[in-house]
Amino acid sequence: MDLQCELCPRQCRIPPGGRGDCRIRVHLDGRLHAVTYGHPCTVHIDPVEKKPVFHFLPGTPTLSLATVGCNLHCKNCQNWEISQRNPEEVEALALPPEQLVALARQYQCPSISYTYTDPVVYYEYTLDTCTQARAAGLKNILVTAGYINREPARELFRVTDAARIDLKALSDKFYQDVCGATLKPVLDTILLARDMGLEVELIHLVIPTLNDRERDLQQLCRWVAEHLGREVPLHFSRFYPQHLMAHLPPTPLATLNLARDIARAAGLYFVYLGNILEPDAATTWCPACKKPLVRRSGFSVLENRLQNGACPDCGKKVYGVWN
Amino acid sequence: MELSRRTMLKTTMVLLTALVAGGWTWLRATPARWVQAVRAGRYPGRIKPLDERELQRPGRWLG
């Protein structure tokens, strides 16, 4: 008899011996198995700014991991060598949740990031590690496309502190054509994360000719301002030719600057440009007195003037978890 | 119309067969639903040892 995986909106129907669209949820002996549980293919200590997460424990290292597999199939994926591969093709480590937590503590990482591919597909591993990490006083950061059903998302968010979620476009057609997914579940996940009190940051990869029209950017920024509020950070990331989109050019700097102007015009306070080294592309400005609060270059924090999460000049509280 | 014993048995058998076949088809057509999978722990690929020097370097992957 077939099984139906109800973790993500794909709702894969899996015959005996088969696997879901994510490649790592396998029907064996009449049960659904998470075959990458406890087996990350990559583990590193990254600056938290690399996620990018700018408003959550800035300047700290975060233990970052992924297993192979993904439930999206983005044609522009920069990590396709691990996200679009079967576990049989990629070597992995044996690190059960308690060992990950021990590693984070050993290397003085205040947080663990579930990243690189998508923690949705290695859900059980993420959930168990988040639970143990929280019990040990560590924070949990999800770096995800947000393509997950509501109930499992709710359960995971209960033990998560921050979520950096992709908002690839505000277009169902884009999600279908480029990612093999749909838009609505992603929006629902973003709203749920915000409602459950996670520190949410959004990233939008600007791809020439596909989602870089002025009208598209305006629509996206307005949605963020209206539904999430003006304080949620929005990162515009530069596209580089990759994977099945090697024929497209990198995003021109002018387009990224335009995106930032549009976002600010929509009322968003914290707008950043990523995958690019430009002065002030990653600076946090005080929404009230407009003075610089956190200056960054690449993945480094050059200066952090915040005092207890507030502007030292005007006292304005700034969205995020700063200490 | 009078129902003979033979006709009654035949009708009952047909109904029972239809019921069993329908139930079997329904069961086959309705898959068991799973949200959380079994924590397998049986990785189908190769296992590599942890390289702590590599661990301390930022990952080459985006994110």
> What are phi and psi for residue B43, nearest 5 degrees?
-70, 130
Interface touch B50/A78, C-beta < 8 Å:
no
Distance from B19 to chain A by nearest Cα, in Å? 19
B61 vs A contacts (CB less than 8 Å)? 42, 66, 78-79, 82, 115-116
Span A32-51, mean pLDDT? Answer: 98
CA distances in angstroms from A39 to A76, A99, A216, B20, B25, listed in the order given: 26, 11, 39, 44, 38
Residue of A14, A37, A237 to mutate for B, most B C-beta atoms under 10 A: A37
pTM of the model: 0.93
ipTM for the assembly: 0.89
Average confidence score pLDDT of chain A: 97
Note whether A153 and A47 are within 8 A (CB): no
> Residue A199: its pLDDT value, please?
98
CB-defined contacts A:B, below 8 A: 138
Average confidence score pLDDT of chain B: 91
> Residue B41: its pLDDT value, please?
67
pLDDT, one tens digit per residue, over B29-44 is 789 999 999 998 689 9
Distance from A203 to chain B by nearest Cα, in Å? 11
Q: Where are the alpha helices (DSSP H) in chain A?
A: 80-83, 97-106, 123-135, 150-157, 172-174, 184-195, 214-227, 253-265
A233–chain B Cβ distance below 8 A for any pair: no
Span A204-213, mean pLDDT? Answer: 97
Chain A residue nearest residue B47, CA to CA: A92
> Residue A79: its pLDDT value, please?
97
Task: Using the predicted structure, report yes or no on whether residue A174 has a pLDDT greater than 80.
Answer: yes
Confidence category of residue B3, pLDDT binned at 50, 70, 90: confident
Residue of A33, A45, A128, A235 to mutate for B, most B C-beta atoms under 10 A: A33
Distance from A37 to chain B by nearest Cα, in Å? 6
pLDDT, one tens digit per residue, over A123-168 is 999 999 999 999 999 999 999 999 999 999 999 999 999 999 999 9
Query: Which among A33, A46, A89 has the least Cβ separation from residue B37?
Result: A33
B59 vs A contacts (CB less than 8 Å)? 42, 44, 46, 50, 64, 116
A90 vs B contacts (CB less than 8 Å)? 45
> Residue B26: its pLDDT value, please?
86
Residue found under tokens 């949200």:
B35
Task: Using the predicted structure, report yes or no on whether residue B2 has a pLDDT greater than 80.
Answer: no
Q: How many CA atoms lie within 13 A of A11 on its CB side?
A: 9
In percent, how much of chain A has pLDDT > 70? Answer: 100
pLDDT, one tens digit per residue, over A81-119 is 999 999 999 999 999 999 999 999 999 999 999 999 999
Distance from A219 to chain B by nearest Cα, in Å? 25
Cβ under 8 Å to B: A residues 276-305? 299
Give SS3 for A61.
strand
> Residue A1: its pLDDT value, please?
87
> What CA–CA distance (Å, rounded) separates A27 from A13?
10
